[in-house]
Each structure stands twice: as C-alpha cells, then as structure tokens.
Amino acid sequence: MNYSEFSIHIENLRQSFANRDLEDYLLALYALLQSQQDAVCTPALCLSLLQEAFTASPAPFNEQWLLIRQMPDEGLKTSDPWQYACAVIIFQVAELHRMRGQELQNELRHYGITSETGYSWYNFDPLTLLECGAQGLEDSLGEEVVVADDWSLLGDLLDLGRYYE
C-alpha cells in the first residue's frame, strides 16, 4: 500500500464512523496498542486499530501523564517505534487534558491554537486529525511511496494530524 492509498482509507473512515471526543479516541487507541507490542505494524493493522478506536473503551487517564510537556525524542522513533507511537498518544492526551476548559473552549480554535507547552494544534476531532495526518504523510513522503511496516507510522500520523492543515 502506498501513501495515497493509505490516505484514501483514512478518508473513508468518515463514511463508517461517527466522530468522538479526541481524548477518548486517543485513550481507546492507546488501550488497543497495549496488546500489539510484538506485532508488526502493517498499514492494514494500523488502519484496523484506527477503526477500532472509534468504538473501543478508552484506557483510564493517568495523572502522571500531565508531567509530560514535550513530544517524544526523535531517537525513540528508530530505537523503539512502538514506544514512540505510544509516547505520541500519551503526549497528545496530556496536552488535550491540560487544554480542557481553556484553549479547547476557544470558538476559533480550528484556525490554530498554541498549547501552554508551546505546541500548535489545528485539529481537535479524530476524523480531521487522521485525515490531516494522512495528507501530511502523503505530501511529505510522496503519494507513490510504499508505507513501511513500522510503528513510527502511527506516531507520525498522529503528530502530523495535530498541526497539519
């Protein structure tokens, strides 16, 4: 599967799933990932997990995550791609949790907001975040490039989805 095909699969999620709260979606995705540490992250598995997260139960929020105030180190992407994907999710959950009642209440947030930790956010629901992340991957890596079997795909998809328009 290439990035163009991957992006089309992401766009088609809108036909099958209703949006849900982004923090709950990410917590559900995190819960699903916990049983996948030894699995190979094929594009098909990644898409399956992204679909399941629309209806799966969210993992409980861990207050310790609020201590995380920056994206995971890029070195983690190559040393432990599964851990990198999990760390991106935890970072985003912590960011969203901190923004509740503050930046997330801004009616103009879709034009972009900056969190208290200095990170830009433009997308605040799962469908938009995934679509923008997939488009960002396609634009930066090339639509005909084959998607690698690597957990960093998921981390990069979610990270790009946060700020790509």
Q: Taking every pair of C-alpha atoms in the chain, what is the biggest distance, in angstroms?
A: 42
**At CA 105, angle to CA 99 and CA 106, rounded to 5?**
105
**20 burial level (CB within 10 Å; 0-12, 13-18, 19+):** middle
**At CA 63, angle to CA 151 and CA 69, rounded to 5?**
60
> Is the full-model pTM beyond 0.85?
yes
Model confidence over 119-136: pLDDT tens digits?
999 999 999 999 999 999
Tell me, yes or no, whether 112 lies in a domain. Answer: yes
The answer to whether the CB of 2 falls within 8 A of the CB of 145 is yes
Tell me, yes or no, whether 63 lies in a domain. Answer: no
Tell me, yes or no, whether 72 lies in a domain. Answer: yes
Domain of 77, in residue numbers: 3-58+68-163
Close Cβ partners of 120 (under 8 Å, ≥ 6 residues apart): 112, 113, 114, 162, 163
Provide the pLDDT for residue 69.
97
Provide the pLDDT for residue 103.
72
Tell me, yes or no, whether 100 lies in a domain. Answer: yes
Indicate the number of domains in the chain: 1
How far is residue 16 from each of residues 5, 57, 63, 157, measured CA to CA in Å?
17, 18, 33, 20
Model confidence over 84-108: pLDDT tens digits?
999 999 999 999 999 887 777 778 7
Provide the pLDDT for residue 80.
97
Provide the pLDDT for residue 105.
75
Tell me, yes or no, whether 126 lies in a domain. Answer: yes
Model confidence over 10-65: pLDDT tens digits?
999 999 999 999 999 999 999 999 999 999 999 999 999 999 999 999 999 999 99
The answer to whether the CB of 15 falls within 8 A of the CB of 118 is no
Beta strands in the chain (DSSP E): 113-114, 120-121
